[in-house]
């Protein structure tokens, strides 16, 4: 259990701390709150990898392949990522051989002066015989190369299919020709007329009104229309 003097010393030492001073220490301190990195901007990049270099590869492929929709953009991103991964596996392979050469200097002074290729061959042989590092790197490199080729093939097929589709031609619009002479002429105004408008005379029809053809009878009861044969008898 810490004593009071130890606690007091810890508080004084903590007050003196101003955080990391070097760039490496600041970069390491910035990752203190990082748990898994799955929500980062580029989660497939390692902490020591150059994001600007990956964005440069992506911009180069976009300028060359010219994607026209979201599917083509996604395929271009896959192509750029797999190209970046291939370079990663090659760099790791080179670093593994360098480490094998540097960490196991089993050579004598005379051996160090020999051909560089011989030293590399011996380091490569030790890696191949004592570990599966080179086999894994070759497997990952082949996987990235196949993914690169599949995405490139699919992108080119989609772009070729899109270019072969007939483009919708809008119907021709009628051309409106405006006469400049008509535009310059003033509008025609009608002169006011002094004549009074003609009166409206109702037009009377020559057809008899229904009340004129009604036959009045002497007997009580409602009036009845004259049968059609009465006119014939009266005329006789």
Report DSSP state, residue 210.
G
In tens, the pLDDT along 144-189 reads: 999 999 999 999 999 999 988 887 676 777 777 665 665 566 666 6
Query: What's the whole-number average pLDDT of the chain?
Result: 74
Domain boundaries, the chain: 45-164
- Mean pLDDT to the nearest integer, 81-101: 92
Per DSSP, helices labelled H in 104-193 are 109-112, 116-130, 133-164, 180-184
Q: Do the beta carbons of residue 82 and residue 147 sit within 8 Å?
A: yes
User: How does 31-51 read in b/e, with b if 16+ C-beta sit within 10 Å?
Assistant: eeeeeeeeeeeeeebeeeeee
| Structural tokens at position 47 | 């902490």
Question: How far is Cα 211 from Cα 225, in angstroms, rounded to an integer?
Answer: 9
């Amino acid at each position: 259990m810490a004593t009071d003097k130890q606690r007091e010393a810890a508080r004084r030492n903590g007050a003196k701390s101003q955080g990391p001073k070097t760039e490496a220490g600041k970069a390491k301190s910035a990752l203190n709150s990082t748990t898994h990195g799955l929500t980062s901007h580029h989660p497939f990049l390692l902490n020591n990898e150059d994001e600007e270099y990956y964005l440069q590869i992506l911009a180069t492929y976009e300028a060359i392949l010219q994607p026209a929709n979201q599917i083509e953009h996604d395929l271009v991103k896959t192509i750029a990522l797999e190209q970046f991964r291939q370079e990663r596996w090659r760099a790791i392979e080179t670093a593994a051989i360098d480490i094998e050469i540097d960490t196991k200097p089993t050579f004598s002074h005379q051996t160090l002066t020999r051909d560089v290729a011989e030293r590399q061959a011996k380091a490569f042989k030790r890696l191949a015989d004592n570990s599966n590092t080179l086999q894994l790197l070759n497997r990952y490199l082949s996987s990235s190369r196949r993914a690169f080729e599949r995405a490139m093939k699919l992108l080119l097929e989609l772009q070729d299919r899109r270019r072969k589709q007939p483009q919708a031609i809008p119907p021709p619009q009628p051309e409106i020709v405006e006469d400049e002479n008509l535009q310059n002429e003033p509008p025609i105004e009608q002169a006011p007329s002094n004549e009074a408008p003609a009166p409206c005379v109702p037009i009377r029809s020559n057809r008899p009104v229904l009340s004129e053809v009604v036959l009045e009878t002497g007997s009580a009861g409602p009036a009845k229309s004259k049968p059609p044969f009465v006119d014939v008898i009266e005329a006789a």
